[in-house]
Amino acid sequence: MAVEGGLKCVKFLLFFFNFLFWLCGLALIVLGILVQVALHNTPVMRNASGSAAPLALIAVGVIIFFISFFGCCGAWKESHCMVTTFAVLLSLIIIIEIGTAIAGYIFRGKLNGIVHDGLKDMISNYKNSTDDFRKSVDKLQEDMKCCGANSSTDWGSFMSGGDSVPDSCCKNVTKSCGVGAMLDGSKVYQEGCQVAVEALLRKNTLWVIVGAVVIAFLQIMGIVFACLLMRGIRSGYEVM
């Protein structure tokens, strides 16, 4: 059994949309990995709930990657069962993507508290943590040209005397450059890292939200075409 007339166009449109979904699934996987890596490389966010959004995006991308292939086969073979299953699965995926977008939006609203608490923990754990953790904190401060959470004075307990900061706070990083230089603006960055970290995370989370919403819209169009094709197949049109 095959579809004819205008529904023949629908069949090939559905096949084309599934190819786009396949690319979208691949894009979601890459986007999720990039955002997750960005979060992981930010020491204040390693254990934050915000990492759930990119992980969900990766999972959705993998599922779409395989479902799109299933949908292509259903459209090409004009299988009512396969196209119906494809439409149902795609609907479930859209719900998950909307949930991911909502989670990302909620996470953006909680950034201030999460980043502030994370930075404070980062500072308090710096001396007694692993070398890898200290290196990641140093890299954060060097790359973002910042020092401490709100200001360089957050490192008051770093060394005896209360006027020293890690060398990574220095504008020109050299050994022991931060000793006794906490309030020396010519040597040490005085601005805290909170604003810079929040800006980075908001940017990454925004990409998660935009990616989920845009692809969900495209998938809705795919479901519409799938329903039209199911209707045509069920009506029993003659072979093209």
Fold of 114-194: Cd81 Antigen, Extracellular Domain; Chain: A (1.10.1450)
Q: How confident is the model at residue 108 (pLDDT cuts 50, 70, 90)?
A: low
The pLDDT, as a whole number, for residue 240 is 41
Q: What percent of the chain has pLDDT over 70?
A: 81
The pLDDT, as a whole number, for residue 229 is 75
Q: How confident is the model at residue 153 (pLDDT cuts 50, 70, 90)?
A: very high
Q: Is the pLDDT of residue 133 over 80?
A: yes
Span 154-196, pLDDT tens digits: 998 888 888 999 999 999 999 999 999 999 999 999 999 988 8
What is the Cα–Cα distance from 4 to 2, expressed in whole angstroms? 7
Angstrom distances, CA of residue 219 to CA of 17, 109, 209 = 8, 27, 15
Span 20-37, pLDDT tens digits: 777 877 877 887 787 777
Which tokens in the block code for residue 198? 């929040």
What lies within 8 Å, CB to CB, of 179 at 6+ separation is 159, 164
Q: Is the pLDDT of residue 211 over 80?
A: no
Span 2-25, pLDDT tens digits: 445 566 777 777 777 777 777 877
Contacts 24+ apart (CB under 8 A), 212-215: 212/57, 212/60, 212/97, 212/98, 212/100, 212/101, 212/104, 213/97, 213/98, 213/101, 215/24, 215/27, 215/28, 215/64, 215/97
